[in-house]
Amino acid sequence: MKAELFDRYVHEVGRRLPKKQRADVEAELRSLLMDALQDRIDGQGEQASVEDQVAVLEEFGPPSEVAARYAPPHRYLIGPGVYNVYLIVVAAVGGALTIAYIVLLGLTAWSASASAIGTAIGELASSYINALLTAFGSVTLTFAVLERFVPASAWEKTSEKEWDPRSLPPVEDPERVERGGLIVSSVFLVIALVIFNLFPQWIGVGFVGSAGDGVRSWQFGPVLAPVFFSAYLPWLDVIWIVQLVLNVVLVRQGRWQLATRLVDLALLLGGVVLIGEMLTGPSIVTLDAIQSVELRDVLTRFVPGMVRFALLIALIATVGEGIAKLVRMIRVYVFRQEPGTA
Amino acid sequence: MTDPTENLISELRRGTLVLTVLSQLDEEQYGYSLAQRLADQGLEIDQGTLYPLLRRLEEQGLLDSEWSVEGPRPRRYYRLNDTGREALRTLSSEWYGLVAVLEKLLRKEEGDESRVV
């Protein structure tokens, strides 16, 4: 007996539950729904219709209410009832700030003189981080206060009359492409390609210090060594361009397939090899271009180490991501298992 | 607007829910069979309330449960454990005490009303 509405319902309840109990509650709920459906059509000698499923689901109640009854009685800073709204607000605020700063960046690049561009971008980056932290902090604080004083039921209030099981969203296809993420990643890829290839002087470090005239101000100096541009950038460009093409293909196809998964994996492998080369080969950092002796001394102390550390973290993250994707691929394509099931 | 008495009745029923469920789980039951059993005896409990309650009682250590694959589909069976049986005894005696007191209180109420009439 196929009961697609039940799958959607169970999924909607499950996604609101802590991961630890999700699979078990989902299995039990599915079994209970089938029991109720079976009981409903027994004696009628006919197949269960969508109307029968709807009737059973209406008896069970809206997914948010059922999930709230399953969830352990904990106090939350931001509880499950508010969590979805919180995520939407955080994404909206973060997105709006990012767009605003990208526009500001464009305006700065357009109007600043070549010598001041690095300093201006540095100031912009530090103000962007501050703005993000302040905004996320304020949003979190606001939601924490709301969580404390507004009853959870106020957030996802759906009276039984309003609730229609037919409006349950479809169960997410694990191979479905997240178009939004891909588009954002493509925008960043294009920005990276343009900056690294056309404005390499913009890449450097900035900090507040004195340039020799005694006045403390924002200082900036380019740090990438010629070897980075001759030995690594061409390969980085290849990886970024292939990634960009892959993103375009994925957005058009809307669904991951074996070929696109393999290309994705190959890109990760390429990334691992390249980062490994950067770590073991000649240093990609040089501080020779920095005029101020004081600045150079300060930077020499920590920039090379920081870059190596960042590369190491990137290496570990890329290897981890590669392994996770490989395991997922084997499960989906070799064992025909849906990710997330035991 | 809903009738305020409706809310009061559902609140009253909610208070008896744990005792109701514990009283039926001396022999093992899966969620739906328990709901049916209670309905057959005249007590309709919202399924979206009953099933999570079974889980909570298990988390509180009053019930044991296990999956069984013997029926047409896998089912999770619940049963009282020793702690649950002890809780049932305590709650039952509390219940009988309450009923006795309430009966007295309610009879007095009825008596007063009949005098007024």
Write down the pLDDT at residue B93: 97
* Lowest pLDDT segment from A115-119, A140-144, B89-93, B94-98: A115-119
Q: Which residue has the higher pLDDT, A128 or A78?
A: A128
Q: Which residue has the higher pLDDT, A332 or A14?
A: A14
Write down the pLDDT at residue A342: 39
Please, which residues have CB within 8 angstroms of residue A292's CB and are 6 or more apart in sequence?
A: A209, A210, A211, A212, A219, A221
Write down the pLDDT at residue A144: 86
Q: First vs last Cα of chain B: how many Å apart? A: 32
Write down the pLDDT at residue B28: 93
HSE toward the beta carbon, residue A12, CA cutoff 13 A:
21
CA A2, CA A10: separation in Å to the nearest integer? 14
In chain A, % of residues over pLDDT 90? 24
Distances (CA, A) of A183 to A100, A178, A245, B45: 17, 9, 12, 49
Write down the pLDDT at residue B20: 95
How close B107 comes to chain A (CA, Å)?
A: 37
In chain A, where are the structural domains located? 4-70, 80-152, 179-334
Please, which residues have CB within 8 angstroms of residue A39's CB and are 6 or more apart in sequence?
A: B32, B36
Chain A residue with CA closest to B54: the answer is A70
- What is the average pLDDT value for chain A, to the nearest integer? 82
A65 vs B contacts (CB less than 8 Å) = 48
Cross-chain residue pair B53–A65, CB shorter than 8 Å: no
- Work out the pLDDT band at A42, boundaries 50, 70, 90: confident
b/e code A8-28 from CB counts within 10 Å (16+ = b): bbbbbbbbbbeeeebebbbbb
Check if the beta carbon of residue A93 is closer than 8 Å to that of residue A140. no
Tell me how crowded residue A166 is: count the other CB atoms within 10 A of its CB: 11
B56 vs A contacts (CB less than 8 Å) = 73
| Joined tokens for residue A239 | 């990886």
Write down the pLDDT at residue A197: 87
Q: Helices marked H in chain B — which ranges?
A: 4-23, 31-40, 47-59, 82-116
Q: What average pLDDT does this structure show over A57-64?
A: 89
In chain A, % of residues over pLDDT 70? 85
CA A5, CA B21: separation in Å to the nearest integer? 29
Phi, psi angle pair for B65, to nearest 5°: -145, 155
| Joined tokens for residue A325 | 């994707």
3-state secondary structure of A110: helix
For chain B, what's the residue count?
Answer: 117
Write down the pLDDT at residue B114: 61
> Would you say residue A198 has pLDDT above 80?
yes
> Would you say residue A336 has pLDDT above 80?
no
* Lowest pLDDT segment from A203-207, A221-225, B5-9, B22-26: A203-207
Q: pLDDT per position in chain B (117 positions), as tens?
A: 567 888 898 888 889 999 999 999 999 999 999 999 999 998 888 888 899 999 999 989 999 999 998 878 899 999 999 999 999 999 999 999 999 999 999 988 677 666 554
| Joined tokens for residue B117 | 């009439």
**Closest CB from A27, A32, A39 relative to B51:** A32
Cross-chain residue pair B31–A28, CB shorter than 8 Å: yes
Q: What average pLDDT does this structure show over A296-310?
A: 80
> Would you say residue A16 has pLDDT above 70?
yes
Q: Computed over its alpha carbons, how large is the radius of gyration of chain A?
A: 27
**Closest CB from B32, B46, B59 relative to A35:** B32
Check if the beta carbon of residue A247 is closer than 8 Å to that of residue A189. yes
**Closest CB from A21, A32, A70 relative to B31:** A32
How close A73 comes to chain B (CA, Å)?
A: 9
Please, which residues have CB within 8 angstroms of residue A196's CB and are 6 or more apart in sequence?
A: A203, A233, A236, A237
Question: At CB < 8 Å, which residues of chain A contact B?
Answer: 21, 25, 27-29, 31-32, 34-36, 38-39, 59-61, 65-66, 69-70, 72-73
> Would you say residue A118 has pLDDT above 90?
no
3-state helix, strand, coil in chain A (%, to 5): 70, 5, 25
Cross-chain residue pair B48–A36, CB shorter than 8 Å: no
Chain-centre distance for alpha carbon A338 = 21
To test the contact with chain B by mutation, choose from A22, A40, A69 the residue with the greatest count of B C-beta atoms within 10 A, namely A69
Map tokens 């802590």 to a residue. A18
This complex has an ipTM of 0.82
DSSP A281: S
Cross-chain residue pair B32–A61, CB shorter than 8 Å: no
Write down the pLDDT at residue A265: 93
**Closest CB from A31, A59, A65 relative to B74:** A31
Tell me how crowded residue A240 is: count the other CB atoms within 10 A of its CB: 19
Q: What average pLDDT does this structure show over A175-195?
A: 85
How close A71 comes to chain B (CA, Å)?
A: 8
Write down the pLDDT at residue A268: 94
CA torsion A134-A140-A141-A144 (nearest 10°) is 180
> Would you say residue A237 has pLDDT above 90?
yes
CA A151, CA A160: separation in Å to the nearest integer? 18
B53 vs A contacts (CB less than 8 Å) = 69
Domains of chain B: 4-116 (1.10.10.10)
- Positive/negative CA dihedral, B7, B9, B12, B18: negative
A26 vs B contacts (CB less than 8 Å) = none
> Would you say residue A319 has pLDDT above 50?
yes
Question: At CB < 8 Å, which residues of chain B contact A?
Answer: 30-33, 36, 46-49, 51-53, 55-56, 59, 67, 72-76
Please, which residues have CB within 8 angstroms of residue A134's CB and are 6 or more apart in sequence?
A: none
Check if the beta carbon of residue A197 is closer than 8 Å to that of residue A38. no
DSSP A204: E
